[in-house]
A and B are shown apart, each in its own frame.
Chain A
């Protein structure tokens, strides 16, 4: 299905192939990530191979059941002919550890659009789909999502070289301590503040404003799409299942017929087949929904980068404002004019001018402060410029990735529909043959 022979790392779909399922499409996306290559991925192959249920005592000493996922690392070199593939290094991680890793990445690289995790709880479900976190289908889809997450991080030029990420993949026991030692917890609080803060930037960067708006729109549209998709799935399930009733009634009817009996009976079986085919169909569609969900969650990451930019911009403006204010104070002090109302000025008027000494010491302190602030401002300026530069670089990368991935997902959606149609034609043709023999 995937033509890997051309050597071009960009080809992800065989031209004219109409047989790619959504899972294969996901594999295509993964292959692209792998082939684009980072140093990390050149060294190792990453898989989330299995899931297992565990029970244990939690932090409040109560029994709980949770799922752990097996991460496998293999060296990336090809296995020689007749050679035995190397046994992988493995460790177990639970979802909360993935969350911890992601939070760390979010605060450490605020200018990067950090890949999202698969959903914590099943949402946008249609009635037959389980919302239970321990449901095997949910666990399986989560396993795929977690692998996807790791690969996305591993194929990111910046994130892949992070030490903590490397330890996550290799160090089962000591990882947690290592993460905490980075002291990222404090940054978590300030980040939360920045996300929820209601500050106003005087000169917002137009590009970021536009991006935030685009991201919000996309969030709304995909949410709505997923909601309606769930309703569509529900209804389609109903249509298919009702046809199963034909199976039973044809069978009953065939019992009272002579010549028509056989034809009716067989046709009834085909109707049963038709009715039961919907389960597989909708199961496959969940993968497509997962692909959309990933980008729904991505919009949150984009939003937070925009917000971070706003914060930096705001701090820069505040710093500049502060500096300007202080400079003005200095000027007043030097020239003796009081243009700005200040307590000092007032008290001077009321209680008499301060002495020359006092004034000079104040001036010196102000000078120092101004110098510091100028340094700070310069730093902040650099920080801001650096942020904008690196963030925008990642944003461009993200846009391309999004376009590629979503296009791929839509093609695989269409291919899935074709497969559904073919199955339908098959079943009804079989039934028609039976009817012809009546």
Chain B
């Protein structure tokens, strides 16, 4: 059996939503659809699979899937390459860009343009263009967490920024935040389950996101997970989830270390830059009191100055591109940990009820209550969802860090290339002059 998306609930009066079947339920019968619900299969042979994700086994980190991810996006309409989606079967493209400042009497805030292109029938139109602010993203994420508690929801950039410490309206801050929001939305759109969530649909398409009214679209699982808060203690986390937990802890720690190292490098580079600037200007000063040596000295001063500019660019890049991605992954790890905890809770509830029922059975031989079975299903679903998301997350992480680290190496190479060019042109200039002088001397 599988956990489905909301059944038969309209979202803002549009067409009813597809029954979302679990990606791992490939072998099982699709749920008999309700009167309003249709099952769509997008470009894939296996029935019941959503989004055409060619999952043969419950490990999307398999070679073929990875290959798909790494494929160049030749036939997509996407603005840029999205390393997360499979090339052939993507049918939902989202982009966040174009930040604008809005000033009202009450407050000042930034909105971003969210553009959507899609062929999915869940959407009425093939294209949407709406403006959303951070609050709206936050709302979306909360709704996703509530309605899909068994899934890993990608993180958002930090919500609170200390006023006075960071300028919320500086170009850099807005740019960094926007990139993170774009990444968040793309990850959601790429997720085989999350991307069909009606809240996402509303977020992408509604003219006015009426959040207060709230789309009461809680899944069955959502409700029951919320109620499962009460006091069940987990006895033993299964080994594989333990391994996940340990991995996340260690990984988070390492990322923290890398973050500190990167910050230290930025600091050292900044201090080096200060001294280097003075150093360069001294050569230029010296040039002023020399005749024959004026050109070489000025040349050195200029080359040093060029290197300063290149270093400035490098450091800025570290701050703006490298560090935010690291920090975002730390948040991602926290999300994953919280999903693990929820899974633990759900298992705890099941075990608790099971125990209680077993005791009662002993006493008065009543059959296993249906609740217990439901709990068991819940746990199994949760485990399956989590495992699938975990594999996806691992694969994405690998891609993301490969890109991040290669990019950093590139920036450093670029920095040295710029410096080398500056010095080489100086040497050529000076050696040419030297040759000139010598020929004129010997003549």
Contact = CB atoms under 8 A, between A and B. Distances in A.
Contacts of A231: 275
Most B CB within 10 A of own CB, among A218, A232, A252, A260: A232
A13 interface: yes
A418 B272 contact: no
Contacts, number: 158
Nearest to B272: A235
B273 to A, nearest CB: 8
B9 interface: no
Contacts of A225: 279, 282-283, 286
Interface stretch (B76-84, B221-229, B400-408): B400-408
Nearest to B409: A432
A407 B296 contact: yes
A266 B85 CA distance: 29
Interface in A198-249: 214, 217-218, 221-222, 224-225, 228-229, 231-232, 234-236, 238-239, 242-243, 245-246, 249
A224 B412 CA distance: 30
A337 interface: no
B56 to A, nearest CB: 19
Contacts of B297: 410
B211 interface: no
Nearest to B251: A256
Q: Describe A's contact surface by its main secondary structure.
A: helix
Given A225-B282, A245-B261, A414-B430, A435 B402 contact: yes
A397 B416 CA distance: 40
Contact of A260 (B289, B293, B401, B432): B401
A256 B300 CA distance: 48
A436 B303 contact: no
Nearest to A430: B409
Contacts of B419: 417, 421
Nearest to A17: B431
A246 B276 CA distance: 25
Instruction: Among A224, A407, A422, find the residue whose CB has the most chain B CB atoms closer than 10 A.
Output: A407
Interface stretch (B91-99, B134-142, B433-441): B433-441
A428 interface: yes
Interface stretch (B158-166, B361-369, B420-428): B420-428
B170 interface: no
Nearest to B300: A410
A296 to B, nearest CB: 12
A20 B294 CA distance: 22
Interface stretch (B196-204, B262-270, B332-340): B262-270
A423 B47 CA distance: 57
A28 B403 CA distance: 47
Interface string A171-207: 0000000000000000000000000000000000000
Contacts of A235: 268, 271-272, 275-276
B398 interface: yes
Contacts of A436: 402, 406
A249 B254 CA distance: 7
A76 B272 CA distance: 48
A414 B426 contact: yes
Interface in B232-263: 247, 250-251, 254, 257-258, 261
Nearest to A232: B275
B406 A435 contact: yes
Nearest to B404: A435
B316 interface: no
B105 interface: no
A87 interface: no
B275 A421 contact: no
Nearest to B256: A249
Contacts of B258: 246, 249, 253
Nearest to A412: B427
A115 B177 CA distance: 63
Contact of B410 (A239, A245, A422, A432): A432
A435 B293 contact: no
Contact of B279 (A17, A229, A407, A429): A229
A209 to B, nearest CB: 15
A424 B416 CA distance: 6
A157 B258 CA distance: 62
A224 B435 contact: no
B10 interface: no
Contact of B300 (A13, A245, A413, A435): A413
Contact of A239 (B272, B279, B401): B272
B124 interface: no
A358 interface: no
Nearest to B415: A424
Contacts of A403: 292-293
B319 interface: no
A234 B275 CA distance: 10
B167 interface: no
B312 to A, nearest CB: 14
A267 interface: yes
B417 interface: yes
B409 A428 contact: yes
A316 B415 CA distance: 62
B424 A18 contact: yes
B114 to A, nearest CB: 31
A211 to B, nearest CB: 12
Given A217-B289, A225-B282, A229-B279, A414 B423 contact: yes
A229 B282 CA distance: 10
B28 interface: no
A232 B416 contact: no
Contacts of B275: 228, 231-232, 234-235
Contacts of B307: 417
Contacts of A253: 251, 254, 258
B282 A407 contact: no
B355 interface: no
Interface in A386-438: 403, 406-407, 410-411, 413-415, 417-418, 421-422, 424-425, 428-429, 431-432, 435-436, 438
Interface string A2-33: 00000010110101111000000000000000
A235 B275 CA distance: 8
A204 B213 CA distance: 95
B172 interface: no
A438 to B, nearest CB: 4
A259 interface: yes
Given A231-B275, A232-B275, A411-B296, 15 more contacts: A13-B431, A18-B424, A221-B282, A221-B285, A225-B286, A242-B265, A243-B265, A246-B258, A253-B254, A406-B296, A414-B300, A418-B420, A421-B416, A421-B423, A432-B409
Interface of B: 247, 250-251, 254, 257-258, 261, 264-265, 268-269, 271-272, 275-276, 278-279, 282-283, 285-286, 289, 292-293, 296-297, 299-300, 303, 307, 398, 401-402, 405-406, 409-410, 412-413, 415-417, 419-420, 423-424, 426-428, 430-432, 434-435, 438, 441-442
14 contacts: A15-B434, A15-B435, A217-B289, A222-B286, A228-B279, A249-B257, A249-B258, A252-B257, A260-B398, A406-B293, A407-B430, A407-B434, A432-B410, A438-B401
Q: Which 8 A-B pairs rank lowest in CB-CB distance, beginning with the nearest? A: A432-B409, A235-B272, A421-B420, A424-B416, A435-B405, A438-B402, A238-B268, A403-B292
